[in-house]
Amino acid sequence: MANILLIDDDAMLREMLHAALGNAGHRVTLAAEGNAGLAALKTGAFDLVITDLIMPGKEGIETIIELRHRAPQLKIIAMSGGGQGRPTNYLAMAGKLGARRTLAKPFSVPFLTATITEVLQEP
């Protein structure tokens, strides 16, 4: 299966997705915000990054831009539950900046795993 970097500031969601994706056979590395995620990128080879967009420290849009510069081939899924604006605004921007898929929270684990499978099968 895939080696996934999961970046999200919500500790409960991060742990729940870690368990669910691990049960699906993926190896998952966790980061609580963008700077920690970018640091993890230096220590491992990832097939996919799943990042939240609204986080303290380095937020998701900045993280996606940095990921595109460091590893242009890396596949990215962006997710957001909102913030002050509507989540669709942030998600649309993430898609324009290089996220292969965007997910509005909340979403189901089966939907996420299906999305991961689709993205990993893309060239």
What are 91-109's pLDDT values in tens digits? 999 999 999 999 999 999 9
Residue with tokens 């939240």: 52
Q: Which two tokens stand for residue 100?
A: 């292969």
pLDDT of residue 90: 87
Note whether 50 and 5 are within 8 A (CB): yes
What are 32-76's pLDDT values in tens digits? 999 999 999 998 899 999 999 999 989 999 999 999 999 999 999
Name the phi and psi angles at 4, rounded to 5: -115, 135
* pLDDT classification of 87: cutoffs 50, 70, 90: low
Query: First-to-last CA distance in the chain?
Result: 16
Q: Among 56, 102, 93, 57, which residue's Cα sits nearest to residue 75?
A: 102
What CATH number matches the domain at 3-121, 3.10.129.10, 1.10.3720.10, 3.40.50.1860, 3.40.50.2300? Answer: 3.40.50.2300
